[in-house]
Amino acid sequence: MKYSLGEVYKSLDDDDKRILLAVESGLSGYLYVPVRVIAKKTRIPAKKLNERLDNLVAKRLVSRRLGAEVGYTLTTFGLDVLALDSLVNRGLIQAVGDRVNVGKESDIYEAISPSGSRLALKFYRIGRTSFRQTARLRPYITEREIHTWLDESKLSAQREFKALVELSRLTEYVPKPVGYSRHAVLIEYVEGQELYRTKMLNNPKAFLDGILQVIDVAYNKVGIVHGDLSEYNVIVAYPDEKPVIIDWPQYVYKDYPMALRLLERDVKYIARYFEKTFKVKIDVDEVIKRITTKESVSTS
C-alpha cells in the first residue's frame, strides 16, 4: 500500500520517531544500522522494537537487510518524515498537502504555515539522475568525498537555503526562504507556471530584465553564479507576471575556475529562449560585459 507523506507522519508516535532518529544517527558508522545499535540508542524493549521496525518497513520509512546481523537503513521517505517533523516542531509548518511537482532531483509538496500562508516544501532527491549528470550540474560534489546520496541531498538543501537567504535580501525575483531541515527547503509558495510552458508575456522585455537583474545581483553582490539557468527554472509568477528564479543548489562562487563560462552559458541560454519564443533580442556579449564590470544590466 502506498501512503501519503501527511498520512504517514500523522500515524507515527514518539517511539517511531526515536527509532528513525536512531537509524539516521547510526548511518554515520554503518550502511545498515544493526538492531543492537538501534536498541542501545532508543532503549526500547526488543519485542516492541522489532514490531515497530516491521511497521516502519511496511511504511517504506526504513529498509532492512537480513544476514548474520539484521540491519536497517533510512529511506528517502524516512528522511522526508524526519525533516517534516523538524519543521513542524520549529513552528514553521502546520500541515502538509499533496505532492504538486516531481522533478529530476526533487519532489515538491504544498504546505501551510501556522498563520495560514501557503508554502512549498522541496525535498531533494540527488541521485535520481545518474551520478555523471548530477556531478556535471553540481561541481561541488566532485570536490568532496561522496558518502551517500542522502548526504548529497542534505548538502543541496543547505546550499539552496543559504543562497536564497542572501539573494532574497537583494531582489524580489527569488522565492523567500522560510527554513530548511536535512534535505528539505521550505519556501514561500509561488503561484504561477514555468517559463517554458508560457507562450505569451505581456511585457517580455521587462520580464527578461528581471532575470538579468537576478544574474547581476547574484554575481556582483552575493558572489555566485546560478550555473544551470534556463526556461525550466524560471517561474512566471501571477498575477503581476514577474520572474522568479528557482533551483540554486548547483551555484558556484564567482572565483571558481569555470564561473565565467557558466555565467556566459546562463545568459546565452536565456537570451536564446527569449529570442526564439518572444522575439526579444539582446547583445549577449554586452550584457556579460556589463555584469562582469559591475554596470547596471538592462536589455535597453
pLDDT at 27 over 50: yes
295 pLDDT band, cuts 50/70/90, is low
- Residue 127 is predicted with a pLDDT of 79
**185 near 246, Cβ under 8 Å?**
no
Q: Over the chain, what is the mean pLDDT? A: 92
pLDDT at 2 over 70: no
Model pTM score: 0.89
Better-scored residue on pLDDT, 12 or 141: 12
- Residue 252 is predicted with a pLDDT of 97
Mark whether 103 and 59 lie in a shared domain: no
- Residue 162 is predicted with a pLDDT of 98
Mark whether 202 and 156 lie in a shared domain: no
Query: How many distinct structural domains can be found in the chain?
Result: 3
Active site residues: 228
Residue spans of alpha helices (H) in the chain: 5-11, 14-26, 35-42, 46-58, 76-89, 131-137, 139-142, 149-168, 204-217, 259-278, 284-292
Domain limits at 97? Answer: 78-188
148 pLDDT band, cuts 50/70/90, is confident
142 pLDDT band, cuts 50/70/90, is very low
139, 161, 188 - which closes a domain: 188
Least Cα distance to 194 among 157, 229, 159 occurs for 229
73-79 average pLDDT score? 95
188, 211, 226 - which closes a domain: 188
